[in-house]
Chain A
Amino acid sequence: MSTLVSAAHITKKYQSTMAVKDVSFELQAGQVLGLLGHNGAGKSSLIGALLGSLRHQGEVRVCGLNPVSQRAELMRHLAYISDVNVLPEWMTVAQILRYTSGVHPSFDISKAKELLSSTQIALRTKIGALSKGMKVQLHLSIIIATDTKVLILDEPTLGLDLIYRDTFYRHLIEWFHDGERALIIASHEVNEIEHLLTDVLMLKQGKVVLQGDMDSLHAQYFIVDAVHQHQEAIKQMAPISSQAGLGSSKWLLRSEYRSQAEELGEIINPTLQEIFIALQKEGA
């Protein structure tokens, strides 16, 4: 397994606010990292640092390269899809494929055309005339047809209808499976990406509130569904959040209380979404 992304002590300060505070992580081939957090939590700044488009403190290496000083070389293996369209609207689909084939050494134009032939995107259409979903699909097709090792997705399915989401994730997963790659997905639609992830990095006001692989994450937290009589006992266990139900409440607890809580009710595995919401609310 090769390390594809390493970020050490990334810190970004705007005049008075801390956008990112001392974030470090590593990503190997085969890992899918979920970058979670609300708007303004620092996801975009962190992505900017990885792409080499944001001045920051700390050390970043993607595919062993420095994103700022070795950008041109790095971009052979690094790609990025954001929630806003970055494709030039005045080009036609055929023109952008031709341009990419000219400047990108590993771009396989026939592969891109083949991918697009299964969609509704016609080569002669101007990009500006495509729907949001089609633009994302086009961008992904271009990336899949290059030898991209690290792909960063920033809220990729924002504003996409269900059908486009489905095709998007289908192409994405198939592409990811076919090589030694790493994927970073920033999103606040946790439900949608939860089962894709192998690792999670959760930010809140620029700080890491949760970090680790999905298995250890599920080992760190659990939910106990306990009847109301046990309310006081559970409150002793410093519950992170609770959700009242019919006759019983669901409490999110840290794993150190697991053996104690087992006697009080049914143990349930929390979803990432539940942990996410609880941690974002905590102390806020």
Chain B
Amino acid sequence: MTDWNDKQPIFHQIKELIEEQILLGVWLEGSALPSVRVVAADMKINHLTVMKAYQLLVDKNLIEKKRGQGMFVLPGAAEKLKMEKKQLFLTRDIPNIVQLLKRIDMPLQDFIKELEKQIEESQ
């Protein structure tokens, strides 16, 4: 059984899981998402919960419902998500980093140097 955190409702967590997977390319644009029935059975949750999660994604114009065929990833969904994540990084994560740098007295130069080093390593 999937581990859920207790901060957010489950349908929200499923939505984020699918977003993450679209970003990772698990679900390509134009391809079909697994049916509500399969997701519910896989995660041992109520199908209404899955439908709620899918509805959130439909509302964000990331996926669309094709009558009788199920849910499909819309073209440009990954791009949209990337933009969103970038925005989130700028507005939420960077201020956190700034706070942290201050708290541990790390000069900006050191931070940038370390950042460059790790990016190089990961490539």
A–B touching in complex (CB under 8 Å): yes
Bound together, the chains give a CA A197 to CA B6 distance in angstroms of: 17
Task: Pick from A30, A197, A269 the residue with the most CB of B within 10 Å.
Answer: A269
**Which of the residues A178, A195, A271 comes within 8 Å of B6, measured between beta carbons?**
A271
A238: Cβ under 8 A from any B Cβ: no
Give the residue among B37, B40, B41 with the most A Cβ atoms within 10 A: B41
Stretch at the interface among A69-77, A82-90, A98-106, A166-174: A166-174
Question: Max chain B CB contacts within 10 Å: which of A173, A174, A178?
Answer: A173
B45 part of interface (Cβ distance < 8 Å): yes
- Nearest 4 Cβ contacts at the A-B interface: A195-B45, A173-B41, A177-B37, A170-B41
User: Contact partner of B37 among A32, A166, A173, CB < 8 A?
Assistant: A173
Q: What residue in chain B is nearest A223 (Cβ atoms)?
A: B6
A129 contacts the other chain (Cβ, under 8 Å)? no
Which of B46-54, B58-66, B67-75 lies at the binding interface? B46-54
Taking A195-B4, A195-B49 as known contacts, 5 extra A-B pairs with beta carbons closer than 8 A to each other, sorted by chain A number, are A173-B37, A174-B37, A174-B41, A177-B47, A269-B9
- Flag whether A192 is at the interface (Cβ < 8 A): yes
Cβ of A268 within 8 Å of any chain B Cβ, yes or no, is yes
User: In the bound complex, how far is the Cα of B9 from the Cα of A195, in angstroms?
Assistant: 10
Say yes or no: is B23 at the interface (Cβ < 8 Å to chain A): no
Most buried by A among B36, B42, B44, B47: B44
Q: Per-residue CB proximity of B1-31 to A under 8 Å, as 1/0?
A: 1001011111000000000000000000000
Which of A178, A196, A270, A271 contacts B45, CB < 8 Å? A196
Determine the main DSSP class of A at the interface with B.
Answer: helix
Chain B residue with Cβ nearest A168:
B44
A215-230 toward B: CB 8 Å interface, digit per residue (1/0)?
Answer: 0001000010000000
A184-227 interface with B by 8 A CB criterion: 192, 195-198, 218, 223
| Complex contact A270–B6 (CB within 8 A) | yes
Once the chains bind, are A32 and B41 in contact (CB under 8 Å)? no
Name B40's contact: one of A177, A198, A269, A270 (CB within 8 Å). Answer: A177
Q: Complex formed: what's the CA distance from A150 to B44 in Å?
A: 19
Bound form: Cα–Cα A73–B45 in Å: 32
Nearest opposing residue in chain A for B40, CB measure:
A173
A218 CB contacts on chain B under 8 angstroms? 9
Complex interface bits, B85-106 against A, C-beta within 8 A gives 1, otherwise 0: 0000000000000000000000
B46 to A169, Cβ gap below 8 A?
A: no
Residues of A within 8 A of B43 (CB): 195
Q: Chain B residues with Cβ under 8 A from A198's Cβ?
A: 46, 48
> Across the interface, do A178 and B46 meet the contact criterion of CB distance under 8 Å?
no
A32 contact set on B, CB distance < 8 A: 46
* Whole-angstrom CA separation of A270 from B42 in the bound complex: 23
Closest CB-CB distance, B121 to chain A, in whole Å? 35
| Cβ-closest chain B residue relative to A174 | B41
- Greatest chain B CB density within 10 A among A169, A218, A270 is at A169
> Of B1, B7, B8, B37, which one neighbours A178 at CB under 8 angstroms?
B37
Residues of B close to A169: CB separation below 8 A? 41, 44
Subset of 11 A-B contacts with CB under 8 Å? A170-B41, A170-B44, A173-B37, A173-B47, A174-B40, A195-B43, A195-B46, A195-B49, A196-B46, A197-B46, A269-B8
Q: How far is the CA of A218 from the CA of B41 in the complex (A)?
A: 23
Question: Could you tell me if B7 and A268 are in contact, using CB atoms closer than 8 angstroms?
Answer: yes
Q: Given A192-B1, A195-B10, A195-B49, verify A173-B36 contact (CB < 8 Å).
A: no
Closest CB in chain B relative to A273 CB, distance in Å: 11
Minimum C-beta distance from B68 to chain A (A)? 15
Of chain B, the residue at the smallest CB distance from A196 is B46
